[in-house]
Amino acid sequence: MKHFKTISELHEIQGYPQPENPLLGLKRLKKTANPLNVSEISYDFYFICLKKLKKGNIWYGKTKYDPDQGFMYFMKPNQIISLHDVILKDKGFSIEIHEDFLMGHPLFTEIKKYDFFDYETREALHLSPREEKIMWSLFNKMEAEYGNNPDEFSKSIILSHLDSILKYAQRFYKRQFIDRKPLSGITITKFNEIFNEYFVKGDMAGKGLPTVNYIASQLNLSPKYLSDLLKQETGKTALELIHLYIVSEAKNMLVEGKQSISEIAYQLGFENPPYFSRMFKKEVGVSPKEFKNHFLN
């Protein structure tokens, strides 16, 4: 695996001019004639890229990209990407930002709050032509300021355009969740199927509660992307749905009255019965004991 510690090193390897600022790189990507193949690469800096593919695959996780549409991906430091027989169909751009460049600006903190940097390189942002035009407009403004003689306002202006790119990306991801509703509409069904299988096999008692990470891996999604899809579809996150599933099973077992509350807690994967009772009361409004007594009486 090739890991780039500096933006200058990346530009040199790719044959681009050295960046004006070693902590910030802006590149216009050219069409390519020969296939690009890179096994695995990662960076010490944030990496934002807009591309169009003529052919090949970019393994930014396991998403398959529509070669007729532009797409963007957002990588935080130390994430991994690979290229397989990639030929770029049209121009694109990339932005490389070292965290040190953000120091003293609200983006130093804000950039960490954008979930799409945590999609574990599995879900790119697909852009409509109108959305792509907006992103290009903001990049052009960044580039124009980047090329000017720097002064006390330069950094603030550049980062204001970057901030707009991130905010638009958040809006466009929201649109993507909505557009994918016929596809994501089955997410909750698959989510429940995986949970049911886990429960029926008795894995809860032996392995504990299934985590969001586990269910996401079964669906070939990142945990945050899964939660965002489920939130869009059901109004609840993956963790909230896990708790609801557990509560539903717990209610049924309590009403049956065959097991003690501690036995139910252990069967549902809780190592600590008091923790189960606290979670149950938080979701239901009464303790497991109060719920059980109400139905048995």
- pLDDT tens for 90-99 read 788 999 999 9
pLDDT of residue 63: 47
Tell me the per-residue pLDDT of 162-171, one tens digit each, with 9 for 90 and over: 999 999 999 8
Residue 222, SS3?
coil
Of 275 and 178, which is predicted with more confidence? 275
Give domain limits for the chain. Answer: 2-126, 184-296
227, two tokens: 């939660």
CATH class of 2-126: mainly beta
pLDDT averaged over the chain?
82
Share of the chain above pLDDT 70, in %: 82
Other CB atoms within 10 A of residue 173 CB: 23
Distance CA 240, CA 230 (A): 10
Given a cut of 80, whether residue 26 has pLDDT beyond it is yes
pLDDT of residue 119: 61
Sign of CA dihedral 12, 17, 18, 19: negative
Asked which of 61-75, 180-194, 209-223 is least confident by mean pLDDT, the reply is 61-75
Look up the CATH superfamily of 184-296: Homeodomain-like (1.10.10.60)
Other CB atoms within 10 A of residue 45 CB: 23
Place 183 in a pLDDT band, splitting at 50, 70 and 90.
very low
Q: Are strands 92-97 and 70-75 parallel, antiparallel or unpaired?
A: unpaired
pLDDT of residue 141: 96
263, two tokens: 């036995």
144, two tokens: 């124009």
Over residues 231-259, mean pLDDT: 82
Question: What values do phi and psi take at 76, rounded to 5?
Answer: -90, 170
185, two tokens: 């509409």
Distance CA 17, CA 279 (A): 57
